């Protein structure tokens, strides 16, 4: 989430200053054990609190105020030249090869390699802490932070990835409070995960649905995002949130789209299905409306406001144009930042055109794709690149959570409630008249562990009931009981904030004085 400068100062307590690239490990310390890993069903989470004797416990600067990026390569020449076969350039961000503005990184057999992104070749072997050397199974870099995952799905962060190698240092700290938690793991144990960093230094601002640019703030928004086994769930973990796997971002089509791959940079996520249907979305914990401690949000129209609040609901998925049907594509997709603002992104899709291998690419807001040949062998799995939209051909089943109840002669029903979907129809009925309103729900800020999905543990949402303006303009036409409910419970307002508490058995909407039971 976005960080207060004061919070970054608090984080400095007990954190060691960075050493050289070769001295990142602190001898005699310990690292998390493999006991706390998540299941592929997403039904469990990890605290990462236990440790294993004989391993190392890296302590680094991740989460502190950033160094000012420069052009220095100090420390690079001290790293030994790579002795494995590596490509001359890295073109797509993934979990074995990745890049940021300054550096390219590659992973081979548990070890990491680095070169200047602008150079052709020149790979060097990175020095790693003992707890990671030979055990890395995935990497992803964005902005000034790199994440590596070990063979127990544990997350490690390397800081200052836009600076010289001598400043690089590692930590497995992750989670509440203030990035001081005992660590976390990749949700679902997924191999389809990605690291995203939105920063004031590189991105500066982002744009909400009302067209207003908001400053990123005094620090960054950092998430590891992961796809579920069926590709319909995206769970994210944030280094300042509890070390659980409870926060989700819905896929397209109300969380039912089944993605084959996911890439995220600077809070812009990019997905593709088996038929080559492509979508992007600007979304993170702060943009979603969840960070109400530090930010002000509103469902009221913020266009033209002198001091605009962050417009809700958050930006939705945008369907991107398909790659020309004459071209082939794979599930190896990538997004990276190219400058200031949330539109400064480039999308890339590995593929082939007229027998040549390479990648398709376009700016986020561009209408057409261009192909660049690299001659490198395809690494991804070929997809069906159909010219027509087949986004709904392989939808996951709808959420099984339906709720119904009654209040003074008015019945209420919510169908297919999904914790990751922001707006859900709430159907109110009196006599033979039906009133359809929208129940907006945004995951609340919490510092204690929450189970994923819906369970017997109450889940608290920031809620808002939205009444259509057409209903308010002609309220007298509504059934007297419905009219009374809108006037007395909601003040005849278009938007009414409310607490919403949901379990796998009940849903309570405080402003309506209404409790629904699962049916």
- Would the pTM of this model clear 0.75, i.e. be above it? yes
- Tokens for 126? 């990175």
Sheet holding 356-363, edge to edge: 328-337, 345-353, 356-363, 370-373
pLDDT (tens digit per residue) in 91-144: 999 999 999 999 999 999 999 999 999 999 999 999 999 889 999 999 999 999
pLDDT (tens digit per residue) in 347-393: 999 999 999 999 999 999 999 999 999 999 999 999 999 999 999 99
Range list of β-strands (E), 354-494: 356-363, 370-373, 403-407, 410-414, 423-430, 433-443, 459-466
Q: Which residue shows structure tokens 């940079």?
A: 265
pLDDT given at position 431: 95
* Cα–Cα dist 494/440, whole Å: 12
pLDDT (tens digit per residue) in 403-457: 999 999 999 999 999 999 999 999 999 999 999 999 999 998 998 999 999 999 9
* Cα–Cα dist 387/275, whole Å: 9
Q: Which pLDDT band holds residue 260 (cuts at 50, 70, 90)?
A: very high
* Cα–Cα dist 237/232, whole Å: 17
* Cα–Cα dist 427/263, whole Å: 36
Does residue 248 register a pLDDT over 80? yes
- For the chain, percent helix, then strand, then coil, each to nearest 5? 10, 35, 55
Read off the DSSP letter of residue 387.
S
Peptide bond preceding 313 in cis form (omega within 30 of 0): yes
pLDDT given at position 14: 35
Contact call for residues 72 and 164 (beta carbons, < 8 A): yes
pLDDT given at position 50: 32
Read off the DSSP letter of residue 11.
H
pLDDT given at position 90: 98
pLDDT given at position 243: 95
Contact call for residues 101 and 112 (beta carbons, < 8 A): no
Nearest-CA neighbor of 45 among 475, 349, 464, 451? 451
User: Parallel, antiparallel, or unpaired for β 297-298 and 310-311?
Assistant: parallel
Exposure letters 204-224 (e unless 16+ CB within 10 A, then b):
bebebbbebebebbebbbbbb
pLDDT given at position 363: 98
Contact call for residues 149 and 189 (beta carbons, < 8 A): no
**What value does the mean pLDDT take over residues 282-310?**
96
* Cα–Cα dist 127/353, whole Å: 39
* Cα–Cα dist 370/275, whole Å: 19
CB burial of residue 54 (10 Å; 0-12, 13-18, 19+): exposed
Does residue 16 register a pLDDT over 70? no
pLDDT given at position 4: 37
Contact call for residues 142 and 199 (beta carbons, < 8 A): no
Q: Which pLDDT band holds residue 9 (cuts at 50, 70, 90)?
A: very low
pLDDT given at position 63: 86
Using only C-alpha atoms, what is the Rg of the chain? Answer: 24
pLDDT given at position 38: 34
**What value does the mean pLDDT take over residues 243-252?**
98
**Cα separations (Å) of 402 from 45, 307, 318, 352?**
25, 39, 28, 45
pLDDT given at position 45: 38
Bridge partners, residue 116, by sequence? 103
pLDDT given at position 92: 98
* Cα–Cα dist 477/470, whole Å: 11
CB burial of residue 470 (10 Å; 0-12, 13-18, 19+): exposed
Residue 6 host element (H or E): helix 5-11
**Cα separations (Å) of 78 from 18, 75, 302?**
17, 5, 53
Contact call for residues 243 and 174 (beta carbons, < 8 A): yes
Contact call for residues 391 and 498 (beta carbons, < 8 A): no
CB burial of residue 6 (10 Å; 0-12, 13-18, 19+): exposed
pLDDT (tens digit per residue) in 77-95: 999 999 999 999 999 999 9
- Tokens for 354? 């007229």
> Taking phi first (over 0 means left), then psi (-120 to 50 degrees means alpha), and beta for anything else, what does residue 189 get?
left
Nearest-CA neighbor of 95 among 148, 133, 135? 148
Please, what is the average pLDDT of the chain?
90
> Taking phi first (over 0 means left), then psi (-120 to 50 degrees means alpha), and beta for anything else, what does residue 317 get?
beta
Does residue 66 register a pLDDT over 70? yes
Q: Identify the weakest region by mean pLDDT among 58-67, 214-223, 255-264, 282-291.
A: 58-67
Q: Which pLDDT band holds residue 55 (cuts at 50, 70, 90)?
A: low
Q: How many helices (H) and strands (E) does the chain have?
A: 4, 34
């Amino acid at each position: 989430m976005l960080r207060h400068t004061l919070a970054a100062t608090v984080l400095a307590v007990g954190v060691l200053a960075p050493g050289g690239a070769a001295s990142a490990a602190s001898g005699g310390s310990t690292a998390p054990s493999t006991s706390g890993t998540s299941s592929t069903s997403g039904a469990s989470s990890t605290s990462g609190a236990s440790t294993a004797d004989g391993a190392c416990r890296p302590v680094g600067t991740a989460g502190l105020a950033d160094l000012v990026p420069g052009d220095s390569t100090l420390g690079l020449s001290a790293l030994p030249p790579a002795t494995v076969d590596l490509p001359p350039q890295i073109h797509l961000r993934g979990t074995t090869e990745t890049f940021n503005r300054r550096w390219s990184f590659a992973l081979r057999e548990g070890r990491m390699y680095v070169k200047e992104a602008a150079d052709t070749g020149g790979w060097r072997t990175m020095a790693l802490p003992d707890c990671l050397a030979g055990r890395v199974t995935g990497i992803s870099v964005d902005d000034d932070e790199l994440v590596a995952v070990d063979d127990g799905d544990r997350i490690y962060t390397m800081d200052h990835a836009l600076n010289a190698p001598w400043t690089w240092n590692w930590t497995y700290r992750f989670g509440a409070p203030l990035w001081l938690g005992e660590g976390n793991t990749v949700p679902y144990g997924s191999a389809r995960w990605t690291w995203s960093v939105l920063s004031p230094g590189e991105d500066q601002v982002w744009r909400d649905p009302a067209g207003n640019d908001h400053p990123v703030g005094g620090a960054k928004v950092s998430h590891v995002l992961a796809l579920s086994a069926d590709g319909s769930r995206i769970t994210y973990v944030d280094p300042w949130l509890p070390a659980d796997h409870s926060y989700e971002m819905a896929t397209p089509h109300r969380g039912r789209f089944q993605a084959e791959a996911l890439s995220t940079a600077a809070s812009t996520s990019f997905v593709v299905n088996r038929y080559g249907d492509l979508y992007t979305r600007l979304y993170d914990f702060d943009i979603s409306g969840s960070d109400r401690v530090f930010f002000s949000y509103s469902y009221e129209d913020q266009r033209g406001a002198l001091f605009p609040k962050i417009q809700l609901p958050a930006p939705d998925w945008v369907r991107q144009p398909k790659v020309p049907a004459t071209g082939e594509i794979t599930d190896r997709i990538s997004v990276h930042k190219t400058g200031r603002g949330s539109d400064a992104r480039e999308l890339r899709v590995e593929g082939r055109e007229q027998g040549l291998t390479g990648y398709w690419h376009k700016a986020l807001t561009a209408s057409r794709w261009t192909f660049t040949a690299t001659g490198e062998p395809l690494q991804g799995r070929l997809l069906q690149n159909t010219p027509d939209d087949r986004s709904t051909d392989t939808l996951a089943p709808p959420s099984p959570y339906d709720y119904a109840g009654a209040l003074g002669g008015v019945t209420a029903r919510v169908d297919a409630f999904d914790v990751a979907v922001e707006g859900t129809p709430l159907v109110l009925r009196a006599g033979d008249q039906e009133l359809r309103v929208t129940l907006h729900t945004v995951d609340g800020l919490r510092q204690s562990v929450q189970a994923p999905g819906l369970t017997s543990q109450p889940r608290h949402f920031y809620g808002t009931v939205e009444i259509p303006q057409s209903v308010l303009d002609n309220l007298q036409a509504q059934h007297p009981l419905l009219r009374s409910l809108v006037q007395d419970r909601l003040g005849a307002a278009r938007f009414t904030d409310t607490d919403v508490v949901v379990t796998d058995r009940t849903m309570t909407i405080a402003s309506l004085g209404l409790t629904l039971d699962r049916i």
